[in-house]
Structure 1
């Protein structure tokens, strides 16, 4: 059991991909996770199920827990023998009050460590295409906060003194005082025409950047309705954005997409969408639970050497089957000379991950096409086949194989369960803001979405999403329950689904 300790951990600017390996490791080990408003909710998925998660959300004008109570909480949980992770947006020692917390921990004899994170200024500049330094225009960088301790009787930042040539100024938490800051920098000697930028929600799919001059930035920010959290960058380096801006050229930037895959597989689709710039809302409508009938399991594994074909109808089935196989035999050679068929390329990839060759993969990932491909071998008469599936698998594949005079055993290895979403943060965000699109990758997800319609009902100001399907079977179910199919993937793959989404949204913008 790990020794009690408190870790002050930087969570980076927002994009989970920018979290350090050390931070991820510690989140997975934490007994207690204390996290802020700007921490991406996706990081919470790395916690163990029994981890105590404490939200102390701190944003302008609202603190869920005062600073002294946060510090007391860290000390209390340490003294209770817990491994505590204090997760803070950006870097804990760059305007994150990490110094205050570390000092309290040291004074109270608490064992602690500091884990740096990517600070907001670095991320905002990189994702906006603004180099903070440049040999020709900026040889120094100033990091300064525009939001000082409100209990101070005097302002300690001398803004006029920061008006230094060949310098980039990065202003944290300065949105509430931007007109004053702009005026003071100009009075200090900066040219009113100095390029300036404001980067909101840096590194996320909702990132927006406003570029103006130092004199006109307050008006431009107001006109564009940019609000906190945002980073203000002042300096000639802002001019390079015209040439090297890259992130905001992504096709799905500014789009919010709801993903309805199960918890175990949502990450694969989410990562593809985020790579295109989308902000992803995870709606885990389903969970996959390994489950077998003990008698059926004994019969199948007892007769494994007598089967000619093993047929997998999903990647979930592959994962659960091989977990069982290795647990029983610890040797892939126990499969003998079995030939292997997979319903589609995603399922085939899961099989190949075990260094096994897949003999049949139909062009379209449907049970009908898989049955056609197997029947086309002309070798099914009296052939013994085991079909690895889940509890909701359709009968069409097995019926077709039986009609071809094969001897077919069904082997369900997992159970698909509906997940209650009424209190889920993704569902709450969906209700409040809606989305540009919602994607369905299975019929069971469609049915669960309909069953939980009340928990997912958009509010009066929420955006109504278009609905996309991964393939014809899912589309058929959507139409059957009265749901429109606004677009369908040309192939039943995640990449094709994302491509179809980009094409559809592009056509709506045209």
Structure 2
């Protein structure tokens, strides 16, 4: 019996900000059995893939191609012929210098069904995030996207400079840092004024976005002084001048901050979302995968004997009550006082209709049950020291997702982290357990700011010899953002 062919989606991932992917592109990622992805896509997009999805890195770096184009084409065909849904995930728009035509032709020749899904291209998105619309009734009625390097022997773009200067008012050159002197010289030689405004935008739409503004005469030297490298967009035109009036992204409270948030759970982090919304780049470390654990039915049948129940995370709360429901245990069987390790855990308990308290308020007397994932077994000696004799109830089995290790390593290579954020005391232990896999042991000494969300977290960090530089007044998102925003001058951002 012949295997049914799969399908290939050639998807534009957008310019960097993960929220800029199209709805159709995101749906393709969720359906994918295999994703071949490039260097410049936001890795958070891969988190939307299902657990069994295979990731293949196709990224290219200057002077170093990870996978040759013909190999990528062959993989698309091979995986689709295995009956799989294959997504080729490309930065920006796949049709803008993305070689999508070659890939589409390759799968088409093998009779494989495919779709091309547009994406937001960086030549438009990066200028907008720098406060510049590429067209404006008073400045520019035409716009061109131009490659800044090509397949000529010297790599310099072979284009109609005279036609470009005569007919286009705003020009976006892609990946043009290396040839910047050449580009500016040709534009001036073919009629552009040396005083024409120019801006270089590096890592456009990311929190690490960096902009350098000048003119055709001055921008090469300014870019060199600012050490601008690719990925970067060079925008040329009078419309650049309005940037000062409508710049918005670079005015966000946490713009420029690069934060590592230590994660202890698998659910989406609202804290990470808020930090990104305020302009920060956030690397969530580590990535977790979760499986159901064997249920200790004896414990839940006798849940009423416990006078105190301590939940180690919000996920443990939701998993615990789901287990009770699955085993038809009435929540009114809970006789003990409920506690949480963090304010987030307290909110999860309150959402279930229970009054609860932080662990710092827990009394010594009374039979104690600690509820959490399989990590609490490893930490049992520590809990015994802190709280005395206790029983454990494991809600799930959680392990670091090795599928994301290579992705995480590439994120760390390109980031310049300035902040290490511990949102809970448990996160300190998680970081120490996982850091060695990524060579991050020295991060606590080299990063400018270690931030602990509360006093218990700070005490845990200090117990392991980690100095906390900052702590918000309250363990809330609002207080944390105020704490981080207030140090902009200190951080020289």
CA distance 1:506–1:413, shift in 2 (3 Å) = farther
Q: Does the C-alpha gap of structure 1 residues 396 and 488 become closer, same or farther in structure 2, counting only changes over 3 Å?
A: farther
Structure 1 window deviating more from structure 2 (135-144 vs 280-289): it is: 280-289
Deviation sequence 1:299-353 (CA, Å, 0-9, x none): 147x6xx999977553122221233234345xx9x53597985635423443465
Quick one: distance in 2 between partners of 1:81 and 1:266? Answer: 31
Aligned to 2:425: 443
2:457 match: 474
Bigger mean CA deviation after superposition, 477-486 or 281-290: 281-290
In structure 2, relative to structure 1, the CA distance for the partners of 1:335 and 1:3 (3 Å cut) is farther
Match of 1:321 in 2: 320
In structure 1, what is the equivalent of residue 286 of structure 2? 284
The residue number in structure 2 matching 1:405 is: none
For the 8 Å contact 1:263–1:284, the answer to whether it is kept is: no
Deviations 1:69-110, CA, capped at 9 Å, x for gaps? 211221122112221100110011111111221122223322
CA contact (8 A) 2:202 2:211 kept: yes
The answer to whether 1:210 aligns with 2:212 is yes
Q: Is the 8 A contact 2:310 2:359 kept in 1?
A: no
For residues 153-168 of structure 1, the aligned pairs below 5 Å read 156-164=158-166, 167-168=169-170
Of the three residues 472, 485, 489, the one matched with 2:472 is 489
Alpha-carbon distance in structure 1 between the residues aligned to 2:309 and 2:4: 44
Could you tell me which residue of structure 1 aligns to residue 395 of structure 2? 413
Measured after TM superposition, the shift of residue 163 of structure 1 is 1.0
Q: 1:54 to 1:430 in 2, by over 3 A?
A: closer
Aligned residues: 481
Aligned to 1:64: 66
Residue 464 (structure 1) aligned to one of 426, 430, 447: 447
Cα–Cα, structure 1 residues 311 and 280, in superposed 2: closer, same or farther, change >3 Å?
closer
- Which of 239, 259, 262 is matched with 2:261 structurally? 259
Indicate if the aligned counterparts of 1:288 and 1:415 stay in contact, CA closer than 8 A.
yes
Q: CA deviation at 1:440?
A: 1.2
Question: Distance between the aligned counterparts of 1:248 and 1:150, measured in 2?
Answer: 37
**Are 1:347 and 2:345 counterparts?**
yes
Task: After TM superposition, give the deviation of residue 9 of structure 1 in Å.
Answer: 0.3
Aligned match of 2:182: 180
1:335 equivalent to 2:317? Answer: no
TM-score by length of 2: 0.84
Please list the CA deviations of residues 459-495 of structure 1 after superposition, one character each: whole Å capped at 9, or x if unmatched: 89x9534211111112111111111111223222344
Cα pair distance change 1:65/1:485, threshold 3 Å = same
Q: Which runs of 5+ in 1 are unaligned?
A: 403-407
1:55 correspondence with 2:51: no
TM-score relative to the length of structure 1: 0.82
Q: Deviations over 1:143-165 (max 9, x none)?
A: 11122233799964102211146
For residues 454 and 310 of structure 1, the distance between their equivalents in structure 2, rounded to whole angstroms, comes to: 33
Q: Secondary structure at the match of 1:54?
A: strand
Which moves more between the two structures, 115-124 or 173-182? 173-182
Report if aligned partners of 1:159, 1:181 keep a CA contact under 8 Å in 2.
no
Give the distance between the partners of 2:348 and 2:112, measured in 1 at CA.
46
Displacement of 1:129 after TM fit? Answer: 0.3
Q: Which residue of 2 aligns with 1:242?
A: 244
Which among 344, 359, 373 is matched to residue 367 of structure 1? 359
- Counterpart pick for 1:357 among 353, 360, 367: 353
Residue deviations 1:215-235, cap 9 Å, x none?
222222112111111111111
1:360-406 deviations in Å (ceiling 9; x for gaps):
355xxx3123x37xx9xxxx9x9x9977555358469977xx9xxxx
Structure 2: runs of 5 or more not aligned: none
* 1:148 maps to which of 138, 147, 150: 150
Which shifted more, 82-91 or 13-22? Answer: 13-22
- 2:485 aligned with 1:502: yes
CA distance in 1 between partners of 2:466 and 2:231 (Å): 37
**Per the alignment, do residues 91 and 367 of structure 1 end up closer, same or farther by CA in structure 2, a change over 3 Å counting?**
same
Contact in 2 for aligned 1:160/1:187 (Cα 8 Å)? no
Equivalent position SS for 1:171: strand
CA RMSD of aligned residues (A): 3.7
Instruction: For residues 261-318 of structure 1, give each alpha carbon's deviation from its aligned partner in whole angstroms, at most 9, with x where no partner exists.
Output: 12515633322222222222232187665535523355147x6xx9999775531222
1:345–1:361 contact (8 Å) kept in structure 2: no
Any conservation in 2 of the 1:290–1:320 contact (CA below 8 Å)?
A: no
2:420 and 2:451 in contact (8 A); partners too: yes
Which has the higher mean CA deviation after the structures are superposed, 194-203 or 164-173?
164-173
Partner of 1:426: 408
Who is 1:91 aligned against?
Answer: 93
- SS state at 2:191 partner: coil
Cα distance in 2 for residues equivalent to 1:348 and 1:450: 25
Contact 1:434–1:464 (CA under 8 A) maintained in structure 2: no
d(CA) in 2 for partners of 1:240, 1:161 = 25
